[in-house]
A = this chain, B = another copy of it.
Amino acid sequence: MILISPFTFGEEKSGPLIAVDWGSTNLRACLLINAAVVEQIETGDGIKNIPNGNFESVLGEHTADWRNKHSDCRFLLSGMIGSREGWVEVPYVQTPAGLSEIRAGLHRFESPELGHIAIVPGISHENPDGTIDVMRGEESQVLELLADTGRGNAIICLPGTHSKWIECRDGRIVRFRTWVTGEAFELLSSSPLLAKGDAPDCHSKAFGRGIELARKSESGLLHQLFLGRTEMLMGRVPAADLPSLLSGLLISTELCEAEIWLGENASREAFLPVGPSQLIDCYQVVIQHFKQKAD
Tell me how far the C-beta of A260 lies from the nearest C-beta in chain B, rounded to whole angstroms.
9
For A134, list chain B residues within 8 Å (CB).
230, 233
| Contact call A184/B188, Cβ cutoff below 8 A | yes
Contact of A132 among B128, B234, B250 (CB under 8 A): B234
A39-47, A52-60, A211-219: which one contacts chain B? A211-219
The residue on B at minimum CB distance from A228 is B180
Contact of A217 among B127, B190, B194, B233 (CB under 8 A): B127
A253 at the interface (CB under 8 A from B): yes
The CA-CA distance from A213 to B129 in the complex, in Å, is 10
A216 in contact with B129 given A134-B230, A226-B162, A257-B223 (CB within 8 Å): yes
Copies in the complex: 2
A267 at the interface (CB under 8 A from B): no
The residue on B at minimum CB distance from A219 is B257
The residue on B at minimum CB distance from A221 is B221
For A190, list chain B residues within 8 Å (CB).
187
Q: Which of A177, A187, A261 has its CB near the most chain B CB atoms (within 10 A)?
A: A187
The CA-CA distance from A27 to B37 in the complex, in Å, is 65
Total residues of chain A contacting the partner, CB 8 A: 43
A191 at the interface (CB under 8 A from B): yes
The CA-CA distance from A191 to B127 in the complex, in Å, is 25
Tell me how far the C-beta of A134 lies from the nearest C-beta in chain B, rounded to whole angstroms.
5
The CA-CA distance from A218 to B263 in the complex, in Å, is 13
The CA-CA distance from A181 to B188 in the complex, in Å, is 12
Interface string of A237-268 (1 = CB under 8 A from B): 00000000000001001100100010000000
Interface string of A199-223 (1 = CB under 8 A from B): 0000000000000010011111111
A226 in contact with B257 given A127-B217, A216-B129, A220-B221 (CB within 8 Å): no
| Contact call A179/B226, Cβ cutoff below 8 A | yes
The CA-CA distance from A218 to B261 in the complex, in Å, is 9
Counting from the closest, the 4 A-B pairs by CB-CB distance are: A179-B222, A178-B226, A187-B187, A180-B225
A220 in contact with B180 given A187-B188, A226-B133 (CB within 8 Å): no
Contact of A220 among B129, B231, B253 (CB under 8 A): B253
| Contact call B222/A250, Cβ cutoff below 8 A | yes
9 residue pairs A–B, Cβ–Cβ below 8 Å: A129-B217, A129-B218, A178-B223, A180-B223, A181-B222, A187-B194, A221-B221, A222-B250, A223-B257
